[in-house]
Amino acid sequence: MAQQTAEWTGFNITEQELRRMRWQTRRENLGRSWYKFSRNPLSVVGGATVLIIILAAIFAPYITPYPDHATRPFTDFANASQPPSLEHWFGTDEIGRDIFSRTVFGFRFSLTMGVVVLSMVVPVGVILGLIAGYFQGSRIDTIIMRITDIFLAVPPLILALAIASVLEPNLFNSMVAVSLMWWPWYTRLVYGQATALRNEFFVSSAEVTGASTAHILFREILPNTLSPIFTKISLDMGWVIIIGASLSFVGLGVQPPKPGLGTMVASGAKYLPDQWWISLFPALAIVVLVLGFNLLGDGLRDLFAAEEI
C-alpha cells in the first residue's frame, strides 16, 4: 500500500522513510494534542478523576478500611445507620456496613458495566456502520439502517428496562440489556462518517488499486472515524454507568448484598431524609464518576473538534 501511494504521488520515497515520516507526524500530533488537552484544566481534572477512581477500584481491597463489608456477608446491627465519623467516613448503612468501603467497591461494578457494555457495543456498532455506510444505497445498507432505526425509535432506558425485566436480574443481564440498546448509536455515528468518506479521494484511489473491501473498511475508512468514536466512548461511559445505576435502582441490576452504586442509592432512598448519608454518598460517587468521564469526553471532543455526537 505504501509502495503504491509512493508511486502514485510521483515522489521517490522508500517505504521505510515514509513510515518514519508518518511516525513523526503522529508524534507531533500527539504532542500538540496533549498540549491542547492540558490547556483545558477541566479536561485534566476529568482525566485525573477517572484515573484515580479506576486505581481506587482496582486496589479497593487494600485501600478501604473495611473490605469485608463489601465482599463478604456481614452484619453489625449494633453499629447500623451511624452518621459519618472518623471511623466511618461516609457513615454506616442500615445493616452496619461501612459505606465508604462499599462505595469504593461499588466503582468496580460501575466501571465493569461501562467497560463491558462498550466493548460489546462498539465493535458491533462500528462494523455495521462501516458496512452500511460504504455500501450506501445497497440492500445491506437498507437492512442494517432500518434495524438501527427501529432501536433508535425509543428512548434507550425504557427498552433496556423491558429487556432487563425479562431476564434474571443480575449485573451480567443488565449489561446485555443495555448493550442491545446501545449499538445503534455507534452504527449511526460511523454510518454518517463512512458515507462522507467513501467518496473521498484516498478511498477511490484504494478502490482503483484493487484493495480488498476489508482493507478499505478497516485501514482506509476506520482510522478516519476514530476520533469521534473515542470521544463518544468517553462520553458514553458516563451514560452507561447512569443507566446501569438506574437499572440497579429499580432492582434489575447488581443484586444486594453486592455493593452496586445504584443498588445502594435505592436501598438508602427509603431512609431519606434522616439517614441521608446512606444514599447520598453512593449517589455522589456516581455523579463524580460520570462527571469525570464527561469532562474527559468534552476535552477529547474539543481536541478532535468533532461536530457529531
Partner 1 sequence: MRTLTFIARRAFHAIFVLLGLSIVIFIIARIMPGDPARVAVGARAPEWVVEQLREQMHLNDPLPIQYYYWLTDALHGDFGISLVTRRNVADDIREFFPASLELAFTSLLITAVLGIGLGTLSARHKDKFIDNVVRVISYMGVVTPSFVFAILFLLLFGYVLDLFPTIGRLSEGVPRPPTVTGFMTIDSLLAGNFTALFDALHHLILPAMALAMGTMAQEARITRASMSENLTKDYIAAIRAFGVPERTVMGRFLLKPSLIATISIMGLDFAGGLANAFLVELIFVWPGLSRYGMNAILRKDLNAISAVILVLGVVFIVVNIIVDLVVARLDPRIGLRAARSD
Partner 2 sequence: MTFLSKHRVFLVLSILSVFLLAACAAPAAPAAPAEAPAAQPTEAPAEAPAPAAGPTTLRVTFAWPTFIDPAVGNDFSSSSSLINLYDTLVFPSPDGGIVPWLAESWDVSDDGLSYTFHLKQGVKFHDGSELTASDVVYSFNRLKGIGEGFAYMLADAESAEAVDDYTVTITLGKPSGLFLPSLLRLFIVNEDLVRANTAAEGPYGENGDYGKEWLLTHDAGSGPYKVKEFQLEEYLLMEKNEDWWGEFAPNAPDEIRFIGTTEAATIRTLMANRELEISDQWQTVQALEALDEIEGVDIAALPTMTEFYFMINTKIPPTDDVHCRRAMAWAFDYDTAVGLEWPGTRQSQGPVPASLGGHNPDVFVFHRDLEKAKEELAQCKYADEIENYPVEIHWVSEVPDEEKFALLFQSNMAEIGIPVKVVSIPWLSMVENTSSMETSPHIATIYVSSDLPEAGTMLFQRYHSSTANQWLQNEWLLDEEFDARIEDALATVDQEERFAKYYELQDYIAELAPSLFIYDQAEKHAYQSYVDWPALRGEMSAVMGYYFFGPQIQVNPH
Positions in the binding site for partner 1 (CB under 8 A) = 42, 146-147, 149-155, 157-159, 161-163, 165-166, 188, 238, 242, 245-246, 249-251, 269, 272-273, 283, 286-287, 290-291, 294-295
Contact of residue 44 among partner 1, partner 2, none (CB under 5-8 Å per partner type):
partner 2
Residue 41 as a binder of partner 2 (CB under 8 A): the answer is yes
Size of the chain, expressed as the number of residues it contains:
309
Interhelix angle 276-304/261-269, nearest 10 degrees: 140
The answer for residues whose C-beta is within 8 angstroms of residue 90's C-beta and 6 or more apart is 84, 98, 99, 100, 103, 277, 281
Closest CA to 264 of 108, 103, 114: 103
How many beta carbons lie within 10 A of that of residue 183, not counting itself? 23
The least CB distance from residue 108 to partner 2, in Å, is: 19
The least CB distance from residue 157 to partner 2, in Å, is: 19
For residue 96, the SS3 value is coil
Binding mask 45-64 for partner 2 (x = CB under 8 A): x-------------------
The answer for residues whose C-beta is within 8 angstroms of residue 136's C-beta and 6 or more apart is 194, 195, 198
- CB of 5 or CB of 81, closer to partner 2: 81
How many beta carbons lie within 10 A of that of residue 67, not counting itself? 17
Strand pairing partners for 98?
92
The answer for residues whose C-beta is within 8 angstroms of residue 217's C-beta and 6 or more apart is 130, 131, 134
How many beta carbons lie within 10 A of that of residue 139, not counting itself? 8
Residue 280 as a binder of partner 2 (CB under 8 A): the answer is yes
The least CB distance from residue 302 to partner 1, in Å, is: 9
Which residue among 5, 67, 74, 140 contacts partner 2 (CB under 8 A)?
A: 74
Residue 274 as a binder of partner 2 (CB under 8 A): the answer is yes
The least CB distance from residue 262 to partner 1, in Å, is: 9
Binding segment (CB under 8 A) for partner 2, from list 50-58, 197-205, 237-245, 252-260:
252-260
Residue 89 as a binder of partner 2 (CB under 8 A): the answer is no
User: Which set of grid coordinates corresponds to residue 89?
Assistant: 467516613
- CB of 97 or CB of 301, closer to partner 1: 301
Which residue among 5, 271, 302, 309 contacts partner 2 (CB under 8 A)?
A: 271
> In this structure, are residues 182 and 225 in contact, taking their beta carbons and an 8 Å threshold?
no
Residue 169 as a binder of partner 2 (CB under 8 A): the answer is yes
- The Cα 80–Cα 82 span in angstroms is 6
Contact of residue 159 among partner 2, partner 1, none (CB under 5-8 Å per partner type):
partner 1
Strand pairing partners for 92?
98
Task: Report the sign of the C-alpha dihedral through residues 102, 104, 105, 111, in that order.
Answer: positive
> In this structure, are residues 285 and 278 in contact, taking their beta carbons and an 8 Å threshold?
no
Contact of residue 75 among partner 1, partner 2, none (CB under 5-8 Å per partner type):
partner 2
The least CB distance from residue 244 to partner 1, in Å, is: 12
Residue 256 as a binder of partner 2 (CB under 8 A): the answer is yes
- Interface residues with partner 2 (CB under 8 A)? 41-42, 44-45, 73-75, 77, 81, 94-95, 168-169, 251, 255-257, 267, 269-276, 280, 284
